[in-house]
Amino acid sequence: MTTADILMTAPMMPVVIEGLDKACRLHRLWEHEDRDAFLREVGPRIRGVATSTLYGRLEASLFDRLPNLEIVSSFGVGYDNVDAVEAGRRGIVVTNTPGVLDDEVADLTIGLLLATLRKIPQADRYLREGRWLKGPFPLSPTLRERKVGIVGLGRIGKAIARRLEGFGVSIAYHGRTRQEGVSYAYHPSLLGLAEASDVLIVITPGGVSTKHLINAEILKALGSSGVLINVARGSVVDEQALIEALKAGTILSAGLDVFEDEPRVPQELIEMEHVVLLPHIASASVHTRNAMAQLVVDNLVSWFEGRGPLTPVLETPYRGREA
């Protein structure tokens, strides 16, 4: 057990709470009605933070209250809930939970793509409402001969691409740079990828740099037979532009696991019959969420045992305690 004081900003999975209770002195911010008074008293002792998107964004205003903070361990592969640039400027390491959720998210992505194209949820409702008794369910679009573009060929993007290979579809990608050792066609511009694709799968990080990356121009380039699948962050897609494109038939349909203002989903999307909407569940299996939770704990324990962080993010690379 370490003597370090750790702040948990909002309730997290039992694996995190129990693990940190055993490993350190854990302080639960949400249990204190007067959080300002609590942070005035305990803030200077806090050396680590465990957090998730439930708390909101960790930025300079909270860092100011924690002058001896060394590390933030964030739950999730996306970490736009933490101002990592500001953390790096202050010498604070930020970690996330990559790797352990890659396969789960990739599996869900393929399921969402098939559900969107083959209208699986709509067919289920059709049967349950007794409409099959009156006639067969209408024919659906298909994955056959589709050209799939992947926006962001990181760990999860590659896992999605490997699964798609089994369907015999054309696969291409867009990212900041061409990747070595990748056989898929590379498009240096997102617009070029959209023009060459009729399925666009978005699996790029969120944040300011990718806000509304998928806009009206990209949707128009995707075309009237095009399908958008978003398993990244809601902020990456201009939601209003997407709604207008779906209404106008600019694209065929969309499968969305994420939204701009979760858990509030625009009523216009909810009322559309030709889209599939999921409540941000790409990594939400018991197995995978427990693995992610354990990595939150392991990052903090490793740090305070002097072994460094296990999965530091790009903005806060770890160069050793002497660096």
Specify whether 144 is catalytic.
Answer: no
Q: Residue written as tokens 């010498």?
A: 91
Catalytic residue among 18, 31, 41, 262: 262
d(CA 25, CA 3): 6
Catalytic residue among 70, 233, 260, 289: 233
Q: Residue written as tokens 């465990």?
A: 50
Catalytic residue among 90, 195, 280, 315: 280
Specify whether 174 is catalytic.
Answer: no
Specify whether 262 is catalytic.
Answer: yes
d(CA 254, CA 303): 42
- Sheet architecture: strand order including 275-277: 185-186, 170-174, 147-151, 199-202, 227-230, 253-256, 275-277
Token pair of 1, please? Answer: 């057990």
As beta bridge partners, residue 94 has 72
d(CA 149, CA 172): 5
> Cβ(72)–Cβ(87) under 8 Å?
yes
Rg over alpha carbons for the chain, rounded to the nearest Å, is 22
> Cβ(255)–Cβ(116) under 8 Å?
yes
Residues annotated as catalytic are 233, 262, 280
